[in-house]
Amino acid sequence: MTDINKVQDEIIDEFEILGDDRESTIFYIMELGNQLGAFPEEEKTEDNIIKGCQSKVWLITTTEDDKVVFHADSNTDITKGLISLLIRVMSGRTPQEIINADLYFIEKIGMGGIIGSQRSNGLAAMIKQMKFYAIAYQSKMNAL
Amino acid sequence: MSLNIQDIRASFPILHQEVNGKPLVYLDNAATTQKPLSVIEALDYYYKTDNSNIHRGAHTLADRATRKYENTRELIQKFIGAKEVEEVIFTKGTTESINLVASSFGRKFVKKGDEVIISTLEHHSNIVPWQLLCEEVGAILKVIPINDKGEIIFEEFEKLLTSKTKLVSIVHVSNALGTINPVEEIIAKAHAVGAKVMLDGAQSSSHLTIDVQKLDCDFFAFSAHKIYGPTGLGVLYGKREVLESMPPYQGGGEMIKEVSFEKTTFNEIPFKFEAGTPNIGDVIAFEKALEFVNTVGKKQIVDHENELLAYATEKLSSIKGFIPYGTADNKVSVLSFLIQGMHPFDVGMMLDAGGIAVRTGHHCTQPLMNRFRIEGTVRASFSVYNTLEEVDRLYESVSKIAKLKNK
């Protein structure tokens, strides 16, 4: 089992404990959002905004030992919570791992039903952008 | 006489459901109201029994449908106090009604250098059509400012009025803040300089008693779906002489008298403005919505909504971190607010998780939100079927949410 899937399974377990109670789930996601690491104010630029999100989401990357590290922020706490889940799964992986990632946890925890269709589109846009960054890093590494 | 709200609720099937495991509390009535069973059944009955195209059919079904369709027009005439039934034009909704006036009246009577006045409180649908018109003909769009309570500043309006003002198009009741505008005074002042006045009645039609003759407005627009009726149906009222002076809006069937390839002559009002097969089923079903309002009584409805608003305002104001927007002395049915340190989307989503439906965002009034330097608000809006217990549920949920950032 890859690390990505291990983390996904952990998240699935955590959400199972929350059960069907929508209020507790939303409060939990917000709590995760509050714990998201600080994001540099100067990076909150138009260029770093992910298109297709209802809320504002900024996403940037750094690299550590050929691994892609994601940093993100949003103007809404629930979106920050969603970002924190994605970062937990995707950040600190090799570009190939990110490109290959099958993010089954989103469906397993019933995220679509929790956040609604508009936010689901936003979430899909975030994942797409993360994979784009990974592809870009990989091409850069291959070119070296 | 106080209303029996439980009896009223019994006639709205949609209210009796759980959302996210909690009984639904529907507080998004300024966006659209729910429909009584009589409206739903009338729509069903029409398609099962009377469906046919109206006005020219030489058969019984067409005759039945035509009579019912025209009967609703007569009820609307009474509902808004119009002098004549021909002054009632069916449209797709308030937005189309405004666009009709901008396109037809606007292109004929608003010329280069003329002025159109709107206010800061306007919904986008009462801004954009005028921007498009002004850009096309070279006219100037002027905006009445508001104070911090969300009321227009009347003296500023008077300063904007000139002999060049051709039209004042203003919202009767603000959808985002609930402010009731002093429209009678506005109309009188505008008429004094020879300008016509259009009222956006999308919100006022369900929360105030409307008498277009007493108001003396030249145009009044509203939507059926905000008064317990079907979506996709609206009304434009216009004074006969004004409507008759205007060119047609769209070309097609129904709006013509005679057509030849050389020349077409147009039908009389209201048909001149009703090109194509109209929304027959929804017009017929709307009769039942008006019947519902008339049976319950507009005054009783408004009194009940005012009681809910006062109770909600008082309770929520006690919550730490609660910031109200729109505190006009004269307002109805809408409670717009923010929670200190929280985005309205988050508040809305947490309320939804507790089964409470509200609207969040800019409410299609971005210039108004900019005036308050905010992105948007959380808006709870009340209707006749809401209860004090539902306001308590709102209060409890908002309190819990506010505590997350306001300890």
Which residues, in sequence order, are CB contacts of B232 under 8 Å at separation 6+? B92, B93, B225, B279, B282
Q: Under 8 Å CB-to-CB from A142, ≥6 apart: which residues?
A: none
Per DSSP, A60 falls in state E
Task: Please provide the average confidence, as pLDDT, over all residues in chain B.
Answer: 96
CATH number of the CATH domain containing A25: 3.90.1010.10
pLDDT above 90 covers what percent of chain B? Answer: 92
Side by side, which strands form the sheet with B196-200? B88-91, B234-238, B219-223, B196-200, B165-171, B115-119, B140-144
pLDDT band, residue B261 (cuts 50/70/90): confident
B134 is a catalytic site residue: no
Would you identify the CATH topology of the domain B40-294?
Answer: Aspartate Aminotransferase; domain 2 (3.40.640)
Average pLDDT over residues B41-64: 93
> Encoding tokens for residue B192?
């004094």
- pLDDT bucket at A21, cuts 50 / 70 / 90: confident
On the question of pLDDT at B2 being above 80, the answer is no
CA distance A107 to chain B (A): 18
Domain ranges of chain B: 5-30+297-406, 40-294
Interface residue of A23, A24, A34, A114 to substitute, partner B, most B CBs within 10 Å: A23
What does pTM read for this prediction? 0.92
* Cβ distance of A54 and B354 shorter than 8 Å: no
**Chain A nearest-CA residue for B19:** A22
- Confidence at B194, pLDDT banded by 50, 70, 90: very high
Contact A21 B354 (CB under 8 A): no
Residues B328-347, mean pLDDT to the nearest whole number: 95
Residue (of B222, B203, B258, B198) closest to B88 by Cα position: B222
Structure-block tokens of residue A41: 């104010």
Q: What is the pLDDT of residue A116?
A: 79
Q: Which of A110-119, B2-11, B106-115, B126-135 has the lowest mean pLDDT?
A: A110-119
Residue A141 pLDDT class (50, 70, 90 cuts): confident
Cα–Cα distance, A53 to A115 (Å, whole number): 12
Looking at the partner chain, which of A21, A27, A115 has a beta carbon nearest the beta carbon of B21? A21
Identify the CATH number of the domain defined by range B5-30+297-406. Answer: 3.90.1150.10
Going by C-alpha positions, the residue among B197, B234, B218 that lies closest to residue B96 is: B234
Residue B93's pLDDT band, with cuts at 50, 70 and 90, is very high
What pLDDT, on a 0 to 100 scale, did the predictor assign at position B275?
A: 92
Q: Which residues of A touch B21 (CB under 8 A)?
A: 20-22
Over residues B298-305, the mean pLDDT reads 95
pLDDT category of residue A1 using cuts at 50, 70 and 90:
low
**B399: phi then psi, degrees, rounded to nearest 5:** -60, -45
- Does B301 or A140 have the greater pLDDT score? B301
Which residues of chain A have a CB within 8 Å of the CB of B353? 22-23, 25-26
pLDDT over threshold 70, residue B1 = no
Min mean pLDDT across A51-55, B34-38, B318-322, B374-378 is at: A51-55
Rounded distance, CA B179 to CA B327, Å?
8
Mean pLDDT over B256-271 rounds to 88
- Which domain range does residue A121 map to? 4-143
Compute the distance between CA of residue A79 and CA of residue A72 in angstroms, rounded to an integer.
10
With CB atoms and an 8 Å threshold, state whether A25 touches B354: no
Comparing CB atoms, the residue among A22, A30, A79 nearest residue B21 is A22
The answer to whether the CB atoms of A77 and B346 lie below 8 A apart is yes
> What is the average per-residue pLDDT within B361-389?
96
DSSP assignment of B251-262, as one string? -SSSSEEEE-SS
pLDDT at residue A6, rounded to an integer: 95
Residue A19, pLDDT above cutoff 90: no
Give me the phi and psi of B143, to 5 degrees please: -125, 125
* Residue written as token pair 């609207």: B359
Which residues are CB-contacts of A70 (< 8 A; sequence separation ≥ 6)? A59, A60, A61, A86, A87, A90, A91, A130, A133
Question: DSSP E strands: which ranges in chain A?
Answer: 57-64, 67-74
Amino acid identity at B113: G
Please state the rounded mean pLDDT for residues B301-314: 96
* Cα–Cα dist B209/B195, whole Å: 24
User: Contacts of residue A77 in chain B, CB cutoff 8 Å?
Assistant: 342-343, 346
pLDDT band at residue A111 under the 50/70/90 scheme: confident
Average pLDDT in chain A = 89
- What is the pLDDT, as a whole number, of residue B258? 85
Dist CA B252 CA B246 (whole Å): 17
How many domains are contained in chain A? 1
Q: For residues B140-156, give the mean pLDDT.
A: 98
Does residue B318 surpass a pLDDT of 80? Answer: yes
A28-to-A115, A143, B179, B315, B345 alpha-carbon distances in Å: 13, 43, 37, 27, 16
Contact A76 B350 (CB under 8 A): no
* CA gap B144, B121 in Å, rounded: 9
- In B138-202, where does DSSP find H-type helix? 154-160, 183-192
Integer-rounded Cα Rg, in Å, for chain A is 15
Question: Going by C-beta distance under 8 Å and a sequence separation of 6 or more, which residues neighbour residue A55?
Answer: A74, A75, A76, A79, A119, A122, B343, B345
- Torsion angle, alpha carbons of B286, B207, B119, B323, to 10: -130
Here the tokens at position A110 are 């019933």
Amino acid B231: pLDDT: 98
Q: List, by residue number, the catalytic residues of A.
A: 53
| Strand stretches in B184-274, DSSP E | 196-200, 219-223, 234-238, 256-259, 264-266
Comparison of pLDDT for A141 and B399, the residue scoring more:
B399
Nearest chain B residue (CA) to A76: B343
Half-sphere exposure in the Cβ direction for B268 (13 Å, CA): 5
The pLDDT, as a whole number, for residue A119 is 78
Nearest to B343 among A22, A27, A75 (CB): A75
pLDDT number for residue B230 = 98
Taking residues B192-217, report their average pLDDT. Answer: 97
Nearest to B336 by CA among B123, B177, B188, B173: B177
Would you state the structure tokens that stand for residue B346, as one six-digit string? 């988050």
Residue A31 is which amino acid?
Answer: E
How many A/B residue pairs have CB atoms within 8 Å? 36
Predicted ipTM of the assembly: 0.84
A89-99 pLDDT per residue, tens: 999 999 999 99
- ∠ CA(B245), CA(B249), CA(B251), 5° rounding? 120
CATH topology agreement for domains B5-30+297-406 and B40-294 = no
Residues of A in contact with B343 (CB under 8 A): 55, 75-77
Q: Do B349 and A75 lie within an 8 Å CB cutoff?
A: no
Q: 3-state DSSP call for residue B180?
A: strand
Tokens of B267: 């039908």
Query: Does residue B378 surpass a pLDDT of 90?
Result: yes
Per-residue pLDDT at A115:
81
Beta strands in B247-287 (DSSP E): 256-259, 264-266
Whether B224 contacts B234, CB under 8 Å: yes
Q: Is the peptide bond before B270 cis (omega within 30 degrees of 0)?
A: yes
